[in-house]
Chain A
Amino acid sequence: MSEQLLYRRRVSTWWWTRKRTYFVFVMRELSSIFIAWFVVFLLRLLSAVGDSRSAYDHFLDWASSPLVVALNVLTLVFITLHAVTWFSLTPQAMAVQVRGRAVPGSVIIAAQYVGLAIVSAFIFWLVTR
């Protein structure tokens, strides 16, 4: 059998639209762009706070413009998708053992949500106190 006779198929650019699981995966990868955006947003907030009262007011005006609010809502959606999908994948990546026994995946997932809740509560307390 000669090598040239093999037929090599090309992967379509749109392979990720053909299956729900592929689509969710690509959306999870895409979420990194929105996370990068939110890092920039937070850095701008920090710089405005450190700068002056007027710079902070200026930042608030900019942050409440419809475009930035819409972008941040979209960012929240993508970050939620990222967090939920990553939490559900963690048991596969980490085989946790306690006293020689494997910890069930559901416990690992639940522990992450508990962690998220604790951190969120702390930040909420920090911001509103």
Chain B
Amino acid sequence: MGDSISLRVTRYRPDKDREPASQEYDVPLRKELTVLDALNYVKNEVDTTLTFRWSCRMGICGSCGMNVNGEPRLTCATFLSDYAPGPVRVEPLANFPIVRDLVVDISDFLAKLPRMKPWIIRDDDAVLVGEGDGEYLQTPEELEAYQQFSMCINCMLCYAACPVYGLDPDFVGPAAIALAERYDLDSRDHGARERLDVLIEREGVWGCTFVGECTRVCPKHVDPAGAIQRYKLKAATESVKAFLLPRGAR
């Protein structure tokens, strides 16, 4: 392993640049250094103007997503040594507008998320157990049913990997749909019908063509592609039922 590795980092300063360009930095190459460590090295030692998002450094917060050699990655979980001898291309997450350097604008996702109603919806007077406000009880099996989908950290890697979202930004997108599924599968929730009404629109689940790349890049193994296909099956079943069954039996 050499002593250093070259980083090719996308720079875009909206006040100066008409379009993004890449800038090269040499950073020390050590086995335990991540791409995020390398960016922080540049920020601290070489060029203080380099701008990027990060927070926890341990794959929990979902802030440091970037395209590394064209692949959406959490940079805190991506080791430089895997790219030796380099150079390593570090670009802002694909499919999002660039705010500055490696920072992208995710307000589109933040606007879509509440449309999925990612909270527990009850249609009855809940029977709560315990002190104060009480709690809903759940068996381990009921927890397991949705747990996988609750692991999403909104890191946006799936949106960066999704060509459908890149070509048609109106598509609701993988993480938002996976979160809808997370609440639908929750035994405490009764909101499936309300969510389905939003998701069966053209820009909902039917926008997805099952490329499957969202699932492959997900650092938390959420499987948004699976959630979307299951929704399609649910939506299709509902349509057939609405066609075949009398109103009362649906």
Interface residue ranges, A against B (CB under 8 Å): 1, 5-9, 11, 15-16, 18-19, 21-22, 25, 29, 89, 92-95, 100
Contact = CB atoms under 8 A, between A and B. Distances in A.
A89 B166 CA distance: 22
A50 B230 CA distance: 42
B220 interface: no
Interface stretch (B31-39, B53-61, B75-83, B94-102): B94-102
Interface stretch (B109-117, B122-130, B210-218): B210-218
A9 B98 contact: yes
Contacts of A93: 210, 226, 229-230, 232-233
A22 B163 CA distance: 8
Contacts of B23: none
Interface of B: 12, 14-15, 19-20, 70, 94-95, 97-99, 105, 141, 163, 166-167, 209-213, 215-216, 223, 225-226, 229-230, 232-233
A6 B105 contact: yes
Given A7-B14, A11-B163, A92 B223 contact: yes
Nearest to A91: B226
Contacts of B233: 93-94
Contacts of A16: 163
A15 B166 contact: yes
A94 B167 CA distance: 27
Contacts of A15: 163, 166
Nearest to A95: B230
Contact of A21 (B12, B97, B211, B230): B211
B209 A7 contact: no
Given A6-B14, A9-B20, A25-B209, 5 more contacts: A5-B15, A7-B20, A19-B213, A25-B163, A92-B215
20 contacts: A6-B99, A7-B14, A8-B97, A9-B20, A9-B98, A16-B163, A18-B70, A19-B213, A22-B163, A22-B211, A25-B163, A25-B210, A25-B211, A92-B225, A93-B226, A93-B230, A93-B233, A94-B230, A95-B226, A95-B230
B97 A7 contact: yes
A124 to B, nearest CB: 31
B98 A92 contact: no
Contacts of B163: 11, 15-16, 22, 25
Nearest to A86: B210
A9 B94 CA distance: 8
Contact of A5 (B14, B20, B209, B212): B14
Contacts of B225: 92
A18 B89 CA distance: 15
B211 A7 contact: no
Nearest to A19: B70
A78 B144 CA distance: 38
B173 to A, nearest CB: 15
A9 B95 CA distance: 7
A25 B212 contact: yes
Contacts of B94: 9
